[in-house]
Amino acid sequence: MIENIPVFKPLIQDDEIEAATKSLRQGWLGMGKSVGDFEEALKQVIGVKEKHVVALSTGHAALHLGLMLAGVGAGDEVITPSFNNIADLQAILAVGAKPVFCDIEADSLCIDLTQAETLISPKSKAIIVMDYGCMLSDHDRVKKLADKYGLRVIHDAAHSIGSKYKGRPVGSFSDICMFSFDPVKTLTCIDGGALVVNTKQEKKALHEMRLIGMGQPANVMYQNQRAWTYEVSRIGFRYHMANLHAAIGIQQLAKLDGIRRTRVETCIFYNKFLSQIDGVSTTKSNFEDICPFLYYIRVLPECRDDLRAHLLKNGIDTGIHWQPGHWFELFKNCRSGPLHITEKISREILSLPLHSYMSKQTSERVVSCIKDFFKK
């Protein structure tokens, strides 16, 4: 029987299992000491001293609270690529704002900042800038654009933890930076997210918002204790991270160098051999300073479904990341610029299996199967 190769496969080893078991035996299942330790470990990984890290339950929770922190609300507009995860778009709706869909660049698949500037209106409050796959947005240009028009920036770095932009770790330079640690991400906490923010005031606001508005001091909860009297002065949600998830995340953060190295090796292998196949376009990344989350190719739309079926028949799963937002009924009336590249890319793109410590035999099998398809 052919062993199935999934698109994503979390790196779960004895360290994660032992950390989870220890956490469960401690019996403190809510937010506690491990969450504080995870925040400190993440802060060390991204190399920030002046900024503040707040752990949350999911990446979507981080996006939602990030937009609230930026003051985005009813009647506001947020410029974002239509080629984006639905979590970003739902977070915009959750604060009462509307997404304004922008096109992407053909090479990076990140936001087209030239078009983004043309979409700015008096209602524009923020811009969501997303790193994609093996590519990073032009964050220096993002800052110039935001400063020029007084916009807050939500940096969606769900794909790019462990990467560097011009020598600076992702998470160390953005206005508001969001990470995701869901089951399939480069690093997993089972589920989890985080925000990196600039001030103690923003950190305090997030501590309250993630805990249904309760002003329980985090330094008390980080000792596996809780305060029984507190103030509630703002709206909040049940968005805190659990100790169990944080315990797993700490082990994952410690393995980031090996995770990055092995993922880069697989991506370089893919690029080398898949770029030789007529009918296949590969990512433009050179993978320098990149910690890849997903690897994609592009094929002609009329080939994609047949290629997916061929790979599946041979035990190889594939994905499509993503269907653009403007295709969905919920967002059909949203304002946008021309989305020509988004339309083209969305019909061509195909995600291939990429795992940490993926064996060479596995990547060779994927390449061989794609070669066989195009030979026919």
Look up the CATH number of domain 256-375: 3.90.1150.10
Percent of the chain surpassing pLDDT 70: 100
Tell me what the mean pLDDT of segment 335-351 comes to.
98
**In one letter, which amino acid is 111?**
I
Q: What confidence category does residue 55 fall into, taking pLDDT thresholds of 50, 70 and 90? A: very high
* Owner of token pair 């992702």: 170
Residue 376 has pLDDT above 90, yes or no: no
Residue 176 Cα to chain centre, angstroms: 13
Tokens of 376: 């026919």
For the stretch 96-138, pLDDT in tens is 999 999 999 999 999 999 999 999 999 999 999 999 999 999 9
Tokens of 42: 């993440």
For the stretch 175-215, pLDDT in tens is 999 999 999 999 999 999 999 999 999 999 999 999 999 99
Those residues whose C-beta lies under 8 Å from the C-beta of residue 265, and which sit 6 or more positions away, are none
Please give the model's pTM, rounded to 2 decimal places: 0.97
Look up the CATH number of domain 14-254: 3.40.640.10
Point out which residues pair with 54 in neighbouring strands: 195
Domain regions of the chain by residue span: 14-254, 256-375
Q: What share of the chain is helix, strand, coil (3-state, %, to 5)?
A: 40, 15, 40
**In one letter, which amino acid is 361?**
Q
